[in-house]
Amino acid sequence: MTLIKSLNNQDEFVGFYLLKELELKQTNVTPSKDYFDIVLSDSSGQLPAKYWDVTQADKETFFPMGLVKVQGVVQTYRDKLQIKIIRIRKAQEEDGVALTDFIRSAPIRPIDLIYTIKQVLESINDEEIKTIVSFCVKKVEEKLMHYPAAKTHHHAYFAGLAYHIVRMLEIGEFICKQRPFLNADLMKAGIILHDIAKPEEMIAQLGIVTDYSVEGKLIGHISMASNWITEAAIRSDIDLQSDRVLALQHLVLSHHNLGEWGSPVQPQMAEAVALHHIDSLDAKLQMVEDALDTTPETESWTPLIRGLENKPIYRTKLL
């Protein structure tokens, strides 16, 4: 079974893939014919595909986000690879393939990511801070098992958000050891809370964001998380004016650093400055790592990466 990432122009192949997107269209000729405009994907990447001779039965058989067995040939269209599907059928139980094998996913199991996050949460010494963070985590606990961290920007895959949080917690722990003047409780809380409302801001399935929620568009995950902290404090009878509540809200509100990046206030606590830079460091390096991973080894340059000033990354050949 050939991985999407390994397909080259003119390759003929047979394999199982995820029917990530599917749209019924008509050709321009008269009489026009129906065809499927498709995106096929697996855990290594995705490619556009066309299936030209669509029957009525086909229309009732194939739907997005299903697994299919495909015989196809790779062609070039406008300098990009595209699959021409020769034959296609739905995957069946006896094929022994599972949906989760075909999606991009964090390199650590979701259950282990959640376990780590909860361990860190338990290690917070301040009871009020721990209570507020727990309340917010509970709101999205189920979605945290599989939500991506963003639509396309970074960690855009199954359990990407939890993975982002765990790696940041590792960096945060190191930095707090290196610079003991930082408050470790606030650092942990800030990292866990900073993107905690993203699962309610975005609508995602199998790690793929399909849209933003109405609340996501009108309020945004930063203000949503701030409101959740308010709610947590009220529900647990914690003083809304306390330095704890202010500090947690400030961490969340300021973590995008600048107004034009979505933060209504700029970092004005040591841990808020650290949070923004740890978030940025982890997100950017993950973009680089993912871009190198999904670019064929034979290529010296990755595609342009939006979050890196739209620059590509060069694969140094030192050793």
Which residues ranging from 108 to 147 are in contact with a copy of itself (CB under 8 A)?
A: 126
235: left (phi over 0), alpha (psi -120 to 50) or beta: alpha
157, 147, 167, 158: which is closest to 281 by C-alpha?
A: 167
Q: Which residues contact 175 (CB under 8 A, 6 or more apart)?
A: 182, 187, 274, 278
165 binds a copy of itself (CB under 8 A): no
Shortest separation between residue 72's beta carbon and a copy of itself, angstroms: 13
Residue 121 near residue 130 (C-beta atoms within 8 A) = yes
**Piece of the chain touching a copy of itself by CB under 8 A; list 116-124, 142-150, 190-198, 239-247:** 239-247
Q: Provide the angle, in degrees to the nearest 10, between the axes of the packed helices 184-193 and 270-293.
A: 50
Q: Provide the angle, in degrees to the nearest 10, between the axes of the packed helices 160-178 and 270-293.
A: 130
Q: Candidates 223, 238, 255, 295: give the one binding a copy of itself (CB under 8 A).
A: 223
Nearer to a copy of itself, 2 or 266 (CB): 266
Q: Candidates 8, 261, 303, 306: give the one binding a copy of itself (CB under 8 A).
A: 261
Shortest separation between residue 96's beta carbon and a copy of itself, angstroms: 32
User: What is the H or E stretch that residue 82 is in?
Assistant: strand 80-90
59 binds a copy of itself (CB under 8 A): no
55 binds a copy of itself (CB under 8 A): no
26 binds a copy of itself (CB under 8 A): yes
Q: Candidates 42, 191, 247, 255: give the one binding a copy of itself (CB under 8 A).
A: 247
Kindly write out the interface string for residues 296-315 of this chain, putting x where it contacts a copy of itself by CB under 8 A and - elsewhere. ----x-------xx-xxxx-
Shortest separation between residue 106's beta carbon and a copy of itself, angstroms: 14
User: What is the H or E stretch that residue 174 is in?
Assistant: helix 160-178
